[in-house]
Amino acid sequence: MVRVFINGYGNIGRRLASALSVDKEIQFVGIAKYTLDDKVKEALDNRYGVYVPKDAISSFKQKGLDVTGTVDDAVKGSDLVIDAAREGGGYDNKKKLYEPLNKRAIFQGGEDRHGESAVADIIHNSRVNYTVAADRKYVIQGSCNVSGMGRIMQPLIEKFGDRIKRFDVQLIRRWADLEDTKPVKDSIEWDRQPHHQDDVKDFLPQANLFVDAFKVPSRMMHLHQMFIRFKDKAPTKEEILESYRKEFGVAIVSFAKGTGDVRKKAIELGFSHGDTNMVHIHEDILRIQDDTVKLGYSDDQTGMVIPENHLLLQSMIFKRPRDEALKRTDALFQMSKKRKILEEELK
């Protein structure tokens, strides 16, 4: 059985652990903790293997925390590491651990694809380039925004092809996640160099895409306002919606007045970690004007990439056909069921 270790236990690592610890197809080795805080107990209570840095093991044990071993041991005993370090931390892990121990790894979207600290030479998006990850040693799973854009753009590219002149996206990003303790600053900040444009072009090189990103004082999801310009008259609203009716991980809703309504609904419905794990097209703000489609959708920042990592694992390790992988991911995350409930609740 394939042994999988999650290096990190923050917002993404905790969610990955919830899912992979119940995936009967793999052997879940456990998670890494670096800071001695209440999350160590949470992980132990969940019966995960908890691995800590070698020089910190005695301080964890002194606090009565029965940790399983060292991070090095866990990496040695794994076939695949899913790195969930905070942004940029994956590069050091690759150099110090994964490369010397000859281990395969999946990195998260906060890592670099280009330059001195690049960790991999492809960014995965399950809707666009699922198959290219097979047999790769290192792959980056695109960030939540990058994953969402691929999921929305690819069906349009397949359906309308070169009738599309360009995509312009205004990304309105949340300041922090709900679990974060950092303060939410009262400011609208612009991103001088959004990485999303280059990241998406990595797997959709033919797309004429332009991205601007703004961070706003909210913890509740991201909102993408996408303008799709056509060479001739834009398609109808129904033609656009039709492109998504059978898409994995895309819900179509019209009742929400904002991203908070979607997040609160997911929490109220008892979805794991309060995540929907998908993007939500807001039909009420979908507009067709002359040659342009204005498509607004919210993107579940914390949940979006978790099923994506699971799909990537299936491509990379099991080389499974995409439709079969989707079925397994759907069963693990209950995506179709959640989509149906959300669409009914937010009709």
Contact positions vs ligand NAP (CB under 6 A): 7-13, 32-35, 84-87, 89, 93, 108-111, 143-144, 177, 301-302, 305
In one letter, which amino acid is 253?
Answer: V
Nearer to ligand NAP, 160 or 203 (CB): 203
- The minimum distance between CB 174 and ligand NAP, in angstroms, equals 8
Q: Report yes or no: 253 and 190 within 8 Å, Cβ to Cβ.
A: no
Q: Considering the complex, state which of residue 32 and residue 311 has its C-beta at the smaller distance from ligand NAP.
A: 32
CB of 89 to ligand NAP, least distance (A): 5
- Which residues share a beta bridge with 81? 5, 105
Q: Report, in Å, the least distance between residue 345 CB and ligand NAP.
A: 23
Residue number with CB closer to ligand NAP (14 or 320): 14
Residue among 46, 87, 93, 44 at smallest CA distance from 72: 93
Q: Least separation, in Å, of the C-beta of 215 and ligand NAP? A: 13
Tokens for 49? 């293997």
How many Cβ atoms from other residues are within 10 Å of residue 154's Cβ? 20
| Gap between the Cα atoms of 335 and 31, Å rounded | 25
Angle at 317 (CA atoms; ends 157, 333), nearest 5 degrees: 65
- In single-letter form, the type of residue at position 251 comes to A
Minimum Å gap between C-beta 176 and ligand NAP is 9
Nearest residue (CB) to ligand NAP, 109 versus 249: 109
Cα 74–chain centre separation:
24
First to last CA, the chain: 43
Shortest Cβ 145–ligand NAP spacing (Å): 8
Q: Are 109 and 142 in contact (CB under 8 A)?
A: yes
Nearer to ligand NAP, 125 or 143 (CB): 143
Closer residue to ligand NAP, CB minimum distance, 17 or 164: 17
Chain position whose Cβ is nearest to ligand NAP: 10
- Answer whether 50's CB lies under 8 Å from 31's CB: yes
CB atoms within 10 A of CB 279: 25
Q: Is 166 left (phi over 0), alpha (psi -120 to 50) or beta?
A: beta
The CB-of-13 to ligand NAP minimum distance in angstroms stands at 6
Nearest to ligand NAP of 111, 202 (CB atom): 111
Amino acid of residue 142: G
